[in-house]
Every structure is written in structure tokens, then in C-alpha cells.
Amino acid sequence: MVIMLKRKMLRDIRKNLSQFITIFLMVMIGIMAYSGIKAYMGGMQETRDKFYSENNLYDLSVMGYLNHDDLKTIKGLDNVNDAELKLSVTATTDNDKTLLLNFIESNSISKFYVFQGEKFDVNKSGIWLDNFYALENDIKVGDTVLVKYDGMILHEKVLGRINVPDHLYDVRDESELYPDRKEFGFAYMSTNEITEDYIKSLVMKEANITDENVFKMVMPNFKYKNYIPFSSIMADVKDKSKVDDVKEIIEDKVENAKAIINVEDTSSYVAYQGEIDEGKTYVGVFSGIFLFIAMLSVITTMTRVVKNQRTQIGTLKALGFSNRRILLHYIGYGFWISVIASIVGLVLGYFAIGNVFIGTEMDFFEIPNGHPAMDSSCYYMAAIVVLVVALITFITCRSILKENPAETLRTKIPSIKGKALNITKKGFFKKLSFSSKWNLRDVLRNKMRTFMGLAGIVGCCALIVCSFGMLDSMNFFVKLQFEDLYNFDYKLNIKEGISSEEYDELYDKYGNNTSQSLGIEIKNKDGKRESNNILVTDAGDYLRFVDNKNRIKDKPTDNGVYVTYKLAETNNYKLGDEIEWHIYGDSKYYKSKIIGFNKDPQNQNVSMTKKYLESLGIEYKPDALYTNNDLSKTKEIKNIETIQNINSLKEGMTGMLSMMRTMLIMIIGIAILLGSVIIYNLGILSYTEKEYQFATLKVLGFKDKQIENIFIKQNNWIAIISIIIGLPAGFYLTDWLFKTAIEEHYDFCAFITTRTYIIAAIGTFIVSYLVSKFLARKIKKIDMVTSLKGNE
């Protein structure tokens, strides 16, 4: 008996092969999408946690002009494991590229991951170079690079190519959205490489001494290493839950500490964590939609398959098979196919999606050994899918088994509400053609099948709109940032500590459109302090403000501060509210009235004018100058750290868009594949259920072409209605993703072009039409006698 049932199952599967193939594909695609995105995000998290742990990422960065006494004080605190001094400066190379150059004495905190070369040794003369920067510029271990900073010129042998846990994501400044690895990188050197002459010149300048003989008399026992102006101390805290307590103690005990920043507030940490948070939303949205659509179609298909086996179930009952045996037999149809499909989906998800996505991310973030990581939820989800398919089969089969064998041997007469079908005899519907009336009645008879088809095609259309729409939106905000907000050709980053005369020299040559960025802490209404920054603008029309509808606003006024819309929304700020803030390194708090809001796609901060800043008694010291002078042939300017071309800033975005494009193309591909399978499945179900009616129409004299048109028309209706619903659904999905998933420092919303809507609409309709046309060919092969006899 068991062998007979197995043969029957194989025969039924062969007979309904197309329907079972669609079940397999839908389960596989759904599980593949879920497990692939989950493995990608799990890999991001696991890779990050392992890198931070094994390489001992610091917990606090103490900023200021610091020395060994400060280091000793911090190391002596109860809850501090270890601490290290670091001097970070912006240097240039012989080919005018920029390096964030770090001088250190040891490397037990934020340790190097060495790809190639030697581990850090303070007694070694040479440079450890950012791995991405080295690869982009074809620099190998053993090569010699020239590094220039403030008159100090160093020729250094490359000792290693490295990743460092606090340099996962480095940009030159807030005007760059995407790291330019070819033009900007980081490097580390031993403090022994800092020349004595350089430190002596700094000390003499500070002491206002110009004669070296006088200097020798004033400081006869000068040891230059004691005067290195370290810019930060990295602290490793024992009890991570008490980091804020350690921060407060350092503020009290270390007078030179100008700012103390938690690692969680640094741009590198925030950017990577933001990518993980975005991915978690994608897991819930994209993979959730894929699974939902797939399961709707699988449930419909399995229900129809079992119901079409009604007479066979009656025959098995009449032959004496127990209800339990029959249930197990039919549950096996969906169970084994969904088990195999789930296994294939898990494997493809890990390798085809997880590997591709994580590889793309590892090209973006400087972190080694990235790999996908599939957690137990993927296996639970696969098990749930298999159980749902089995449960639906069980419920459907059990409802048939409740009837006696005599009833099940007869074809069940569908329950049709005459009043619902009478709509075709009234008003406008009365004037419809026969094919339209026939299809309308068929839709009313099979509401669930129609709903499932609509839901599936709407979901796929929305996903296509969303995927293309995200690229449209990113392109739009690149334009907003670099053409509307930034109205300059070059940004010159001014060195710290220059004199007013040196400022005047720059203004005479390049104009006086400037700005200053101040690191601040804002005290929220609940008393909690949050790190932020203030942009002080004296740049005229070179830096513009836009409103929430992306329209350029009037120039800012001088009687308060402007807050970005997203920051205001996050902190519940209203027009007229006051914010309380202080500059890092200055304990004095200021209260400023919010007089307006502005939109910034990439920085959620506070803005004010130079005049308002000075009205608070704070000296304005610009750190950026904006100009439209042609500097294309200028390599170096006195008192300017870096020269940034607006076009190069825009081009830097192509890397980010390229990464997004790879991911979104894969999502679009999955959506199109799933949509095609669903449309095909809908067509198969529709055709199977109508085969008897089509045979009847043939007998009544309808030509094959006419019946084909009837069949295709209904599928076209469903596709058109789905497109009408799916296009706006895609917009709202995109908008929701940008507002929910995108990291909090960015302020993006959906901006979808007409072209995207047209592509999604035409693409969805063409797929639906081609599938319908393909299935319509079966009408020519209908055996009228067999089809009609089968329903007696």
C-alpha cells in the first residue's frame, strides 16, 4: 500500500509538474531572500564584533593638547585598563594626496590588523599604511613614501599594510559622503619619527622665542619628547557599563582634556553601526515581503492541488485507506518539496546573496575577514515555512475527509451567490462584451485566487519601484548636496592657529567666504548630554539653506540658531524653543533660541551666523574657505591643509551608488523572478480551473483565438490593477525605508522619477502578458471529450 501511494504521488507530481515547480521556486526564493539578507547582516555584526574584540577598540577618546602626565592620571583611574597617547595630524604626500597621520608610542589599544608586513614596533623606523589606500595607489611593503606636514618632510619605508578598528570608515570632513580611498587614507608611525627640530620650532613659537641661543639658555635641558603635543588619549575601560562615570572623572581630573568622546559617537563606529541597523530593517522589509508573497501563492497552489484530488481522496477512502494514511500521503506533496526548496534556498542565500553583499560591504568598510553568518533564525524560518505548507495541506485534506466516500467521489459543485453574479446584468456592466462579462463572473467566483494574484504582483511591483527608487533618491540628494546646498568650486581647509594677518592673505587671494565647525555638547530636556556640532557660516551664497521641500531659503538671520529638521524631530524641538549647549573644552553653557529649520542630507546639526556667534562673546576662527577661483593647477597653498574640488566630492559618491546598485540589482532580479513565478502560477491555476469551461466554449463553437483572448484579458486586468496599487505602494515603501532604516545622521526621503514608474509598470505588465500568452497556447491542446467527461 505504501509503495502504491508513493507511485501515485510521483505520478501526480509529474502530471502537475508546472504547479509543483512553482511551489519549489517560490519557497526557495522566499527562503533564499530571507536567509541571504540575514546572513549578510549577521556577517556584518559578527565580523565587526570579532574585529573590535580581538584588536581592542578603545572606549573613550580624550581630545586636547595632552602629555605624559595626563596619560599617567588616566591610567591611574580605577576603572581604566590601559591608555595610550596619540598625535593625529593631516599630512600630504609627494603627489598631493592626503593622509591622516598618527604618531603612537605603543599599540595595545586599537591594535593593527596586519595584512602584509611587520607588527608595530616603536623602535622601528617606517610607516604602517592604510591597506585600502595602499591598494588604490599600488604601494607595496618595502616601498618608500614621502610625507609632508607643517614643514616636516619624512621619507618613510612602508613596513606594513593595515586595518585599524577605529578607522573602518574615514572621510576627510563632513562635506564628503563617501571615502575616497585613492586620495585619502590613514597611516601610523612611531613617535620616534617626529623630528626634534620640528618640536623645538613649535615650542619656540609658543614661547615667542626666535633666537636658538636664547632658547638654549631658557631651556638648557630640553627633551623634545616631553613636549610632543599629543592630540588624544585612547582609554580602554574595564566595566563598559560605567564608561560615562569614567568620562566625568577624566573631565574633573585632566585639565588639558578639551573633549571626551565615546567610541559609539565617532564617525567610523556610527557609519558601520548605521549600516547594520539599516540591514536589520531590510531583513524585515525585503525578505518579509518576499516570504509573504511566496507563502500566499504556495498556500493557494497547495489548496487547489489537494482540492483537485477530491475524487482520488474519495476513491482511497472507498478502498479502505485510513484517514491518517491519506492525510500523511497528501501532506507529503507539499512537505518534501518545501523541505528540498528550503535547503536549496538556505544554501543559495548564504553563497549567492550573503557572500555577494558582504563582499560589497568589505569593499566599502576597512575591516578584514568579512564573511556571511547565518544564525538559527534562518533555520527556524525554513522550518516554519515547511510546517505552514504541511498545515495548509492537512487542513484542506481534512475538510474533504470529513465527508463520506460517496460525496467525495462526486465533483463538488461550487457555492455561487447568484446575486453577486447578477452584477453583469445591470447598468454599465450589461453593455460589456461577452469576454468581459465572463471574466468578471470568474473573478467573483474565485475571489481568493484573484486576491492572491493581486497581492503577489502588487508586492513585486512595489519592490521594483522601491529598488529603482532608492537609486533615484540617492542621485537626487547628491544633486541637492553638491549643487544646491554647496554653491562653490573649491573648499580650502584652513590650518589651526594661524594669525589674523595670515587670514587676511588668504582673503585677499581667495575671498572671505568662510565657515567654522565647532564640536559641542547639547544638554537635552532630560539633562542628558549629546555630542553634536555647530556650523558657523559667513559664506554668503556659497553655503545655502533649503527647507523641507528642498527649496532654497533666504539667508539666515543673526538672532538665534537653525536646527536641521531631522535633529528637531529626533529631539522634539519646536520653533522658539531654547537649546542649551557648550563648546568642547569650555565649560560655559549658552542658551540659544531656535529661529528656524533647515534640511541637510548628511549632517544633523545646528547652524548660526558669524554675527550671532560673536554676539555670544565667542571668537570666530574660520576653518574652511570657499572660492570659485580656478585652482585646478594649484597643488599647495600656504596655511591650507587640503584643497577639495566640488567635482571630486561628487565623484566620490559614485562608489556608494555603485555598491547600492549591486545590492539593488540583485533585489530587483529576485523580485522579477518571484513576480514571474507568481504570475505563471496564477496563470496555471486559472487555466486548470477553467479547462472545463474552455472545453465547453469550444463545443459551443468558440475559436481557439477567442478563448485565448478571454484568458489573457483577465490576467491583464489583474496585472493592471496590481500596477495601479503597486506604484504608490513602492513610493511609500521607499519613503518609509529612508525615514526608518537610514542612519540617523542622514536625512533622505523618497524622490522617484517618472522613468522608474514607467519601467516598473511596463516591466510588470510585459511579464504578465508574456506568461499569459505562453499559457494560452495550451488551449489549442484541450481534449474536449476528456475535459467534459472528467466533470461528470
pLDDT, position 755 = 92
Helix, strand, coil shares of the chain as percentages rounded to 5?
Answer: 55, 15, 25
**237 pairs with which residues across the strands?**
80
Over residues 580-594, the pLDDT tens digits come to 998 887 778 999 999
Chain center to CA of 309:
47
Over residues 313-362, the pLDDT tens digits come to 778 877 778 888 888 888 888 888 889 999 999 999 999 888 888 888 88
Cα gap 669→36, rounded to integer Å: 14
> If we measure between CA atoms, which residue out of 518, 558, 560, 555 comes closest to residue 539?
555
Longest dimension (CA), the chain: 119
Site of grid cell 591597506: 131
Residue 628 has pLDDT above 80, yes or no: yes
Q: Is 632 helix (H, G, I), strand (E, B) or coil?
A: coil
> If we measure between CA atoms, which residue out of 309, 366, 323, 283 comes closest to residue 112?
366
Confidence of residue 444 (pLDDT cuts 50, 70, 90): confident
Q: How many CB atoms lie within 10 A of CB 41?
A: 26
> If we measure between CA atoms, which residue out of 510, 359, 437, 319 comes closest to residue 39?
359
Q: Which residues contact 586 (CB under 8 A, 6 or more apart)?
A: none
Mean pLDDT of 161-166: 96
Over residues 365-424, the pLDDT tens digits come to 899 988 999 888 899 989 988 888 888 888 878 877 777 766 665 655 555 555 555 666
Confidence of residue 266 (pLDDT cuts 50, 70, 90): confident
Confidence of residue 440 (pLDDT cuts 50, 70, 90): confident
Mean pLDDT of 663-679: 73
Least confident of 9-18, 478-487, 722-731: 9-18
pLDDT, position 653 = 63
Chain center to CA of 291:
20
Pairing of strands 184-190, 152-163: unpaired
Residue 663 has pLDDT above 80, yes or no: no
